[in-house]
Amino acid sequence: MKIGLLCDKRGFKGSRSRGKCSEISAGIVMDRYRKQRLRMVDSQIRSRGITDPHVLKAMETVPRHLFIDKGLMDQAYNDNPLPIGEGQTISQPYIVALMTEALELRGKEKVLEIGTGSGYQTAILAELAERVFSVERIASIASKARKLLDSLNYFNVAIRVGDGTYGWREESPFEAIIVTAGAPDIPRILVEQLASGGRLVLPVGDRNLQTLIKLTRLSEDANNLKKEDLGGCRFVSLVGEYGWKD
Ligand code: SAH
């Protein structure tokens, strides 16, 4: 498959600044949505047991409504996934928070994300980690996310178009890997790209229903893994060599 590298305006390499959303530079007054966002974090996320203060802060900061088509913007902070075009969806806010907390980010990590989609989860990761590498198989979706993330000053994000089930070998190892599409099995190649001590969070199951799995690589040995079950979920399919075939 042809791989295209989409760089941010300042050039990803050499840029060391962590992404910070500047509401003013986006040129949009967000007070109206800020209230909805704070309410979302209280009623959907804190109340369901997410406690990592950095994750809560990131969810209070990233303007989720900008990642959603204008026609659905007023539903941006609702307790459900929403369509983003091409048959894909932006995940429910709680699922984003749950998966992000499971990655245990402290600010210095290199993170791999498979399934950029709207770029919302990418922005949350960019708030919490040093650098984010995100792979999206649909070019039009990737370029829309790239533009939006640029406009919000997330300069610590690199996006590429391709089959993310291969991972991003040149940039490995990663302290954290997140897959935001449902896989039939755990792609071995992603486990191999995890750093020792690294966390991989992904939905695994059939086309309709999956279980969120957290794998921790306990040592250099890629077979020395701890596996945890984070509960049921429903994602669009991970399509690729080590995912579903269509
Ligand atoms: N995290 C996203 C959710 C996107 S939905 C968000 O917050 O909006 C899942 C995305 O995974 C879709 O955009 C889909 O095109 C993408 N995808 C599916 N299989 C993929 C693969 N093998 N490699 C990269 N992206 C893939």
* Protein fold of 4-22+95-233: Rossmann fold (3.40.50)
- Predicted TM-score (pTM) of this structure: 0.90
State residue 17's pLDDT score.
43
Active site residues: 91
| DSSP-assigned letter for residue 196 | E
Q: Are 99 and 211 in contact (CB under 8 A)?
A: no
CA distance 37 to 137: 29
Query: Identity (one letter) of the amino acid at 193?
Result: Q
For residue 184, what are its two tokens?
Answer: 């039939």
CB-ligand 1 contact for 202 (6 Å cutoff): no
Domain extent listing, the chain: 4-22+95-233
**How many other CB atoms are found less than 10 A from the CB of residue 32?**
8
Taking CA atoms only, the protein residue closest to ligand 1 atom 26 is 115
Q: In the Cβ-directed half-sphere of 190, how many Cα atoms lie within 13 Å?
A: 27
Over the chain (246 residues), the average pLDDT of each successive run of 10 is: 38 41 51 93 98 98 96 96 95 98 98 98 98 98 98 98 98 98 98 98 97 98 97 96 94
According to DSSP, residue 2 is labeled -
The amino acid sitting at 171 is: E
Mutation to probe ligand 1, out of 1, 88, 113 (largest number of atoms < 8 A from CB): 88
For residue 116, how far is its CA from the centre of ligand 1 (angstroms)? 5
Token pair 């990592």 in the structure block, residue:
52
Q: What confidence score (pLDDT) does residue 246 get?
A: 83
